[in-house]
Amino acid sequence: MKQSINIIISGGGTGGHIYPAIAIANEVKLRYPDANILFVGAKDKMEMEKVPQAGYDIKGLWISGIQRKLTFSNLIFPFKLLSSIVKAYSIISKFKPDVAVGTGGFASGPTLYVSNLKGIPTLLQEQNSYPGITNKLLAKKAKSICVAYDNLERFFPVNKIIKTGNPVRQDLLFLHSKTEEAKTFFSLNNKKKTLLVLGGSLGARRINQLIEEHLELFKKQNIQLIWQCGKLYFEDYKKYNELEDVQIFPFIQRMDLAYASSDFIISRAGASSVSELCIVGKPTIFIPSPNVAEDHQTKNAKSIVDKHAALMVKESELESFSIVFESLLKDKGKQENLSENISELALPNATNNIVNEIEKLIK
């Protein structure tokens, strides 16, 4: 196979689409140091900042999603789409990719649509148990579709599906060797259990309110708290840093150490988070966000809960949280079962397997 290859990667809008895209690019670079990799994202979205930080070039398209109500943005959507297709055509004609990879999000629509038109092989990476509209539309023409969950043949042609899992941070693979370092890093008390709370990088208002309401309960149960409240909410909650056994952060840089130090985890159920938590293997309570397309976080969480590998409390049922949490705390057997079962769902070689599929498409 030729050593200098051109690969276009498109996806974004959220960290869940950007992080896998960057992980795939890094693995391609590891195998083919001379590879040319170009990202295509949506202007004004976080990929325009995150991708250059990771060391890659990115071009922006004037594209956004369709709102569920009549808005000005919806009225100009056809113009945005047309403009994005024209721009994608120009980018692809100049760059001449050997393969185009889509990880979901608005920008991957026009980019992969044009790639298919020009006969360039395309690969989709679907992170969720319920695919977004962009990947559903692109599936018919894609050569390969890499997925993280079972039962996606309802949405995609069965002969194109490869179950690879979602790319995850490699520093999560050997957490058990980091427990001591992690406890020192967060200055934790070895005699107390640690609860890690994650609401996504921006934060989750309802989870923050829930934790605030239960600070007394955690204190009574001798639990220490590592709480990522999100940068949108840090000003409101930082006062709790004054409490003993509570550490609150807008964002946790050393997620590997946060995971390694924890005994229990409360988390949203975005695709990347779920994949990471399978590798982490700790007893987890999912509180899915109800404010996402097709309610896909609930579906992600349910696919784990149905295998007796995690617990779930819906936002509409948070009054039951203390019962669920305390019964988990008291039941050592249940903790061990959840840990064992969620670990069995881990797919740690996802990035590797996705890039193996990309290699097959490069002529």
Whether residue 252 is annotated as binding a ligand: the answer is yes
| 200 known member of a binding site | no
Flag whether 253 is marked binding: no
16 a known binding residue?
A: yes
Instruction: Give the residues across from 339 on adjacent strands.
Output: none
Find out whether 12 is annotated in a ligand binding site: no
- Using CA atoms, how far residue 184 sits from 121, 208, 224, 259, 287, in Å, is 49, 25, 14, 13, 29
Provide the angle, in degrees to the nearest 10, between the axes of the packed helices 271-280 and 332-344: 110
Measure the CA–CA gap between 37 and 28, rounded to whole angstroms: 9
SS3 state of residue 102: strand
**Does the annotation flag 83 for ligand binding?**
no
The backbone torsions φ and ψ at residue 278, rounded to the nearest 5 degrees and listed phi first, read -65, -40
- The verdict on whether residue 90 carries a ligand-binding annotation is no
Is 169 marked within a binding site?
yes
Q: Can you list the alpha helix ranges (DSSP code H) found in 69-214?
A: 72-75, 77-95, 108-117, 133-138, 179-185, 205-213
Concatenate the DSSP letters of all residues of 219-265 into one string: HHTTEEEEEE--TTTHHHHGGGGGSTTEEEES--S-HHHHHHH-SEE
In 10 A of CB 193, how many CB atoms?
A: 16
d(CA 111, CA 109): 6
Other Cβ atoms closer than 10 A to 188: 18
Strand partners, 10: 40, 102
CA distance 359 to 353: 10
Which residues are part of a known binding site? 14-16, 128, 169, 201, 252, 297
Which residues are part of a known binding site for UDP-N-acetyl-alpha-D-glucosamine? 14-16, 128, 169, 201, 252, 297
